[in-house]
Structure 1
Amino acid sequence: MRAMEIQGAYGIDNLKLADRPVPKAGPGQVVIRMKAASLNYRDLATVSGTYGPGHKLPLVPLSDGSGEVVEVGEGVRRLKVGDRVAPSFFQGWLSGDPVPETLGSTALGGPIDGCAQEYMCLSAEGVSKAPANLSHEEIACLPCAALTAWRALVVEGRMKAGDTVLVQGTGGVSIFALQFAKAAGARVIVTSSSDEKLERAGKLGADDFINYKTTPDWATEARKLTGGRGVDHVVEVGGADTFPQSIMAARVGGHVGVIGILSGLSKDVNVAAIFSQNLKISGVTVGSRAHFEDMTRAIEQNDIHPVIDKRFGLDEAQDALRLMAGASHFGKIVLEI
């Protein structure tokens, strides 16, 4: 079977197509014929060597994917041949609160081989049935990006109708957050450096728009848009440079879901603003299998479809990652396998 591997050393140029044997299912396992995978910023950072550089090489990257079960091992009851499925990003986090044993060491796309391959053999417990209303390319967008947005707003933020949600940018997590927020009856403010992208976000239902190039103090603008109150939820994907403004954009008692590292890992934090505004700060690293299955029911009920910007073949993974590095995409980038 074909698989994309990071070979020899980190870097996009070292991502090569390799031939691997088709796996067989052991007890409690399933073999999935992969149909699609999608890209996240984590994948770009992993391939580049800036995220988890200690992973053993060669490594198959990409944390998001979808496929069809083609073989089930002894004892498997929750899945059958022919099921359309998505592997869990954290293979070990089935439900409950996150604990160290269920996080980093069980993540797909590093340290465990990821979805950029034609077949995967995984524990049946680390796989979920996919929403019936979506194509394989759309399903492949769910396990990381969609679930991160879902957990930030629904699980940690307890979003409700009438809330105001600020999403940063128009990447995969932010667009899913926009879609989930509108399905819940919330108001959505979108920030971007591109008026064209803001216009596209408006077509998805966004209510208010801030171009952070022309309005660098976007936190003050967000407060103006909410009559001085501040927003109920901030989907914080920017990292160190945007976090201080996220704190100032949130209302008293508001929630900031900290997700991304696009602009860096650390910076001085206004601790006084956090405690004086009684803010709730949640670190969000995707979610559990139980969270995913709750989310898929909501996706089916509301007929939500992921926004896919560009599609590539498996052997075009380098080009797909370079597109992500350029940050010109809107929504998700997908590999058709």
Structure 2
Amino acid sequence: MKTIRLAAPGGLDKLTVTDGPDAPDPGPGEIRVRLRASSLNFHDYGVVSGNMPSEDGRIPMSDGAGEVDAVGDGVTDFAAGDHVVSTFFPDWMDGPPQIADFTRTPGDGIDGYAREAVTRPANYFTKSPKGWSHEEAATITTAGLTAWRALVVDGGLKAGDTVLVLGTGGVSTYAFLIAKAMGARVFATSSSDEKLARLTNMGAAGTVNYKTVPEWGPAIAEMSGGGVSHTIEVGGPATLNQSIQATKIGGHMALIGVLTGRSGEIPTALMMAKQQRLQGLIVGSHAMQNAMVRAMESTGIRPILDRNFPLDDIADAFRHEESGSHFGKITLSI
């Protein structure tokens, strides 16, 4: 069975294609999945680049989608032939957050989905949205569910709200689509005028190039009529100051990413004065993913796919992610 493994201490040149053992027959409560696709996330890049050290020989990739080819005794939620997608925290079924690390996250603390098949407990997966390709479905596990939780679960998004997305990566484009589908006005930033033009064509209410307008927070606040209701904050310390300025009094900021670093100064006095809520989050639960899948089916939302690579070219896929030229999700076909 074709399998990608990462040699310690990491680095794109440490990714190798190997011939691993076949996935075993499922035992009680397990399913075997013929994996067909994965998708790239900043977290995966952190692992394969060596910035987030993992066990020698780790199989990377948190996202996996495919079809069930066998079920074990006692499994009632899945049948052979079902299209399924993996979960980021396989043990978090429902309720409030229960974990503050990645020790049980596939592709990090445990082996992931850069392989042709896997046998896992049934609760590691949910159904995929009906009619979606495996590549589309693979984008739900990390980016899709993060955007869904940020806006709908934590943010309580409603029609008429205003939303700010930073950049055009997977979480941001998913948030854009979800917000638009639910009747919100969406504003966006990017360093690329070409990408901003594309967002405008998709229905953005306003855009700002953060390279040419370094003080983009006040600019977003002005064009949104006093600040946005929700900000999808994927940048981290170097963008948080501007996000606070872009968000309205009493607004909600979903702190998701660390693209600009892991720590930095926060203008706490300004955030207090504006009585804003800053909510940290990492992906979501099994129940949240099931709810998102139902919402994707009812709204007709489909993810934005940038470029697809075969599994053998996984290093090139991450180099494409490194370039920052992508718009939406980069995927792997398995």
Q: TM-score scaled to structure 1, two decimals?
A: 0.97
Aligned to 1:76: 75
C-alpha distance in 1 between matches for 2:306 and 2:114 = 18
2:103 to 95, 102, 105: 105
* Residue equivalent to 2:315: 318
What does residue 40 of structure 2 align with?
39
Per-residue deviation, 1:274: 1.8
* 2:206 aligned partner: 208
Contact 2:161 2:229 (8 Å CA) reproduced:
yes
Query: Following TM superposition, by how much is the alpha carbon of 1:9 offset from its aligned partner in structure 2, in angstroms?
Result: 2.8
Find out whether 1:267 has 2:268 as its counterpart.
no
Question: Offset of 1:226 from its aligned partner?
Answer: 2.1
Residue 248 (structure 1) aligned to one of 232, 240, 245: 245
Q: Give distance in 2, aligned partners of 1:240 and 1:50.
A: 18
Contact 2:217/2:242 (CA < 8 Å) preserved in 1? Answer: yes
Distance 1:182 1:8 in 2: 42
Kindly state the Cα deviation for residue 120 of structure 1 after the two structures are TM-superposed.
Answer: 1.3
The 5-angstrom pairing of residues 113-262 of structure 1 reads 113-227=111-225, 229-262=226-259
Gaps of 5+ in 2: none
**Structure 1 counterpart SS, 2:250:** strand
Please name the residue that 1:14 is paired with: 14
SS in 2 for 1:86: strand
Q: CA deviation at 1:256?
A: 0.4
Q: 1:118, CA displacement in angstroms?
A: 0.4
Contact 1:131-1:296 at 8 Å conserved across structures:
yes
* Conserved? CA contact 1:232–1:250, under 8 Å: yes
Task: Compute the displacement of 1:181 (Å).
Answer: 0.2
Q: CA deviation at 1:78?
A: 1.1
**Partners of 2:176 and 2:224 in 1: CA distance:** 17
Structure 1 position 38, deviation (Å): 0.4
SS at match of 1:241: helix
The aligned counterpart of 2:275 is: 278
Alignment size in residue pairs: 333
Report the CA distance between 1:133 and its aligned residue: 2.6
CA contact (8 A) 1:43 1:61 kept: yes
> After superposition, what is the alpha-carbon deviation per residue over 1:144-199, rounded to whole angstroms, capped at 9, x for unaligned?
10100000000111011011100000000000000000000000001000011111
SS in 2 for 1:251: strand
String of CA shifts for 1:90-148, please: whole Å, max 9, x gaps.
Answer: 111111111138x5222111111111110111110121011003111100111110100
Residue 297 of structure 1 pairs with residue 291 of structure 2: no
Counterpart residue identity of residue 164, structure 1: T
Deviation readout 1:214-236 (Å, 9 max, x if unpaired)? 11101010111023x11100000
What CA distance in whole angstroms lies between the structure 2 residues aligned with 1:203 and 1:312? 27
Q: Aligned-pair distance for 1:273?
A: 1.4
**In structure 1, distance between residues paired with 2:202 and 2:284:** 25
Residue identity opposite 2:210 in structure 1: Y
- Paired with 1:39 and 1:8, the residues of 2 have a C-alpha distance of 20
What letter is aligned with 1:94? M
Shift of 1:260: 0.6
Indicate conservation of the 8 Å contact 1:236/1:260, yes or no: yes
Contact 2:8 2:55 (8 Å CA) reproduced: no
Q: Distance in 2 between matches of 1:219 and 1:133?
A: 39
Partner AA of 2:234 in structure 1: V
| Contact residue 133 and residue 303 of structure 1 kept, 8 A | no
% same residue: 45
* Amino acid paired to 1:231: V
CA RMSD of aligned residues (A): 1.1
Amino acid at match of 2:16: K
Between the aligned partners of 1:264 and 1:314, the Cα distance in structure 2 is 29
Letter in 1 for 2:224: T
How far apart, in 2, do the equivalents of 1:160 and 1:300 lie? 19
1:113 partner letter: D
Q: Are 1:2 and 1:17, in contact at CA under 8 Å, matched by a contact in 2?
A: yes
In 2, the alpha carbon distance for the partners of 1:218 and 1:108 equals 37
